[in-house]
Amino acid sequence: MITLRNVEKVYPLKGGVFYALRNINLTIKEGEFVSIMGPSGSGKSTLLHILGLHDSAWNGEFDLLGQPVHKLDKKKRFELQKKHIGFVFQSYHLLDDLTVYENLEIPLSYRDMPKKERESVVCDVLDRFAIVGKKDLYPNQLSGGQQQLVGVARALVAKPSLILADEPTGNLHSDQGREIMQLFKKLNSEGTTIIQVTHSAENATYGSRVIRLADGMMVV
């Protein structure tokens, strides 16, 4: 599903450059559940944003679902992203001028789905995440944990084949965090490929493999 060859991310620095990622070679097969771990600043979020097609300023080669991302134009990358990827942002990135319901409807708008069906899919997800009562509120009327739940719900509402999650339980109580991990595990058993960035050893036990980063490099 994913192959990275010699991927690097470089930032210009006064008097030189800084490698946020260096020499990343990586294959992730369809159906895997992978955890990316490593100290703060080691490049985890940078790698996840590249995998999620949110960052296109890097060097190297990246094949995703048989497509050479490094050769695609912006429009093709956007289509690939909207069709196949659900992304949970560390800082939620909900749209502030849309309600919870409307935020959840967005990923479905990229699918050919009649309004009635969109309604029923969004209602199912609101139900599953126990946030039905919040559906007409705006993100700034929610607690951090509730915003995180909406962020996770938005990532999976359109049933993407790949879910990328940056610390998806960082702001949740441990029982809520476990529920999210169990949900990921279930989706994974149904075939969804999942890649999470996590500091939590407990969260990593839900996955089948750990990729460790240190100073922008993969370590074994």
The footprint of ligand ADP (CB under 6 A) covers: 11, 18, 20, 38, 40-46, 90
- Please report how close the Cβ of residue 171 comes to ligand ADP at its closest, in angstroms: 11
Q: Which of 81/90 has CB closer to ligand ADP?
A: 90
In the structure encoding, which two tokens stand for residue 40, read together? 């703060």
Nearest of 154, 1, 139, 17 to residue 63 by alpha carbon? 1
* Strand, helix or coil for residue 27: strand
Q: Which of 132/214 has CB closer to ligand ADP?
A: 214
Q: What b/e string do you get for 61-89 counting C-beta neighbours within 10 Å, with b at 16 or more?
A: ebbbeeeebbebeeeebeebbbebbbbbb
- Please report how close the Cβ of residue 210 comes to ligand ADP at its closest, in angstroms: 14
Q: Which of 2/20 has CB closer to ligand ADP?
A: 20
Q: Where are the alpha helices (DSSP H) in 73-133?
A: 74-84, 100-109, 115-128
Q: Which of 45/147 has CB closer to ligand ADP?
A: 45
- Please report how close the Cβ of residue 98 comes to ligand ADP at its closest, in angstroms: 24
CA distance 86 to 95: 16
- Please report how close the Cβ of residue 148 comes to ligand ADP at its closest, in angstroms: 13
